[in-house]
Amino acid sequence: ARIRELARPKKPKAAWENYSSRLEWGNQETIWPLSLSALTARPTPRIMSLAKPKKIFDGSLQSRRLFLYSCGRMSEIWQRPTLMDLALPSPRILKLAEPKKYQTAYLKQRPRSSPEWPMPTAALTCEASQRVLELARPKSVHPGFMLNRKVGTHIRDIARMTLTTPRTQLLAQPKIQK
């Protein structure tokens, strides 16, 4: 009985027959009936221009294949050629990778490396208070801390010398995504 009830088409509502176009399967039904003015309204040119999808002006983005990077991956999904890993960078790339050196004129303008502003002489000659000295003292090691304890588990020499089975070696290999 429930299957037959679900298989029957919906009964048309008065709002569909009077004001709107014929309802086809898959059209969404509104929560409440729309008014006549809402059904006969025409959009303004501004609304029509806002409804157009955004154009992609970069030609390289349009020709890029979809799903090259999927599910937030930082690397490509498929495997890279093995020769790509063995390739050496060109001398130009190595030169560009070197950090920039400061010029002598720049270093002459900035003779001090620290601090950024001049320190007053009173700050340089003052005595530190007892509280400041207490805060400057490093934290001591906890009295219950044990240094270099022996490992609780002991691995036998026979277990260290055993060879793995081919099945275990196969399972240890990482998965290669195609």
In tens, the pLDDT along 36-47 reads 888 889 999 999
Element counts in the chain: helices (H) and strands (E): 12, 0
Confidence (pTM)? 0.20
> Does the pLDDT value for residue 15 go beyond 70?
no
In tens, the pLDDT along 72-116 reads 555 555 666 777 777 888 899 889 889 888 888 877 777 666 667
Residues 6+ apart with CB under 8 A from 73: none
> Does the pLDDT value for residue 153 go beyond 60?
yes
Q: State residue 45's pLDDT score.
A: 93
Half-sphere exposure of 85 (CA within 13 A, CB side): 4
